[in-house]
Every structure is written in structure tokens, then in C-alpha cells.
Amino acid sequence: MRTIFFTLLLTLAGGVGAQTTQPFQPDANGDGLVNVDDLMTFFTVYNTQWGPDLTVACDYQGTSFETLFADLINGDSQMDSLYFAYSIYDSAVVYMPECPDPITVYNLVERSGVITSFEHVTYPDGRIALTSGQEIDSLYVFFDWRYNPTYGVYSLEFGDAAIVAESAPFFDGLWHYANDHIGLPLPTTWTLDETGIHFPAYSGTMNQYGDFQFVPYWSAAE
């Protein structure tokens, strides 16, 4: 797996009082006057660098998940296939014909398969995606990796038409399992290990109903 290269943007926020728009605070002691005491504070930093040291090289190596994500988005690696499996369950209160009282019915959807078709796409607005989509047992499945460089948003999304076909009126009509994150590092809940990749679903989506597994297989790009 290739080493990831990220540029981390550091933002320096200066403590500027509301009474001035200057890029520094000349009233160092906050007594409302700019006098010799404030000058002595200035001399303590005289002839030193102003702002962040941009000559320092970034040596952040990233986690295994971040490395894989970046290599796939950058085109340094290619996705060969992705195994998915899930078991989801839910219940619903429904009315049956000619029955005045509601009853509770239950639904279980279990499915697994291998996605083998992935395409690396750069959209006109600059978004980059490693996108998939194919029919497995006559039902459409997709798993997308996406990056929006304008906002620094990393996202993953999975969808399977089987969830719609086999689960109405369950799961509140939801059929996708997805999340996104702004900036690096990614949350500690986004991980990659021997059992696959792990990321929490959007709040309120299907992670509350069951279990998902996503196991990627990739190789270095030719």
C-alpha cells in the first residue's frame, strides 16, 4: 500500500480585540493604553518569525483507512472488488384487511454479494468519485467512495434495491447506509482491519437495524 500524502492546512487565529482590526493586539496587558509595558512585551518576540512556519514538512502518514481512501481517490490504487453482507431487521405496526386492531409484523433482510465494477470519475464541479453499480441477483447495488476538494468532504455510501424490494413498509423507506466527514484526520470510528472497513451510518439510518460488513480488495494502479 502506498504511503499517503496529505497537506494539512493550519489556520492561525490571532487574539484581536473588538476595538481594533489590526493583525495583532498592541495593548498587550489589556489596560486600554498602549505604553511602555506593551512595548516590553513586543521586545520579547522581536526578530522572531510571524505566523506559522510553512517550511516544516508534513510527516503525517495517515491511518490504514485514510491511506486506502486517498490511494483510491488519487488513482494510485484501483478497486478490484468489494464483498458486502448484511442482516437487517425491523418491525412495523399495520392494519390488516377486515381486522380493526393493529398488529405488529416483523421483517428480516439478509443478503451478500461481490461488487466487481468500479469507475474512477471526476465531475465538472471537481468532485472525485470511485463509483460502482451493478445488478446482483437482478437487484441494483452500489458502493461509492467520494471526495469533494472544495469543502474537504470525504464520503462513503452503499445502497441495495433489495432493501426496498423486500422491506416495505419497514426501515422508514430508507435503503442506503452512508456517512461523510469534513477534513482530516477521519474519526476513529472510520477504520480498516482484517474484517473490512467500518464507518457509522448517518444518524437515524440503517445502522440502528442490523449489521453490515464491507470487505474491499484492491491493487496498485498500473
Cβ neighbors of 122 (< 8 A, separation 6 or more) are 128, 129
For the cut 50, the answer to whether the pLDDT of residue 208 exceeds it is yes
Rounded alpha-carbon distances, angstroms, from residue 30 to 35, 90, 188, 200: 11, 61, 41, 47
| Residue 62: per-residue pLDDT | 86
> What does the pLDDT average to over 6-28?
44
**End-to-end Cα separation, the chain, in angstroms:** 13
Residues 135-179 pLDDT 10s: 999 999 999 999 999 999 999 999 999 888 887 667 766 778 999
Poorest-pLDDT segment among 16-30, 56-70, 121-135, 157-171:
16-30
> Mean pLDDT in the chain?
81
Residue in this structure with the C-alpha cell 495517515, named with its chain if needed? 62
The verdict on pTM exceeding 0.85 is no
Is residue 10 very low, low, confident or very high in pLDDT (cuts 50, 70, 90)? very low
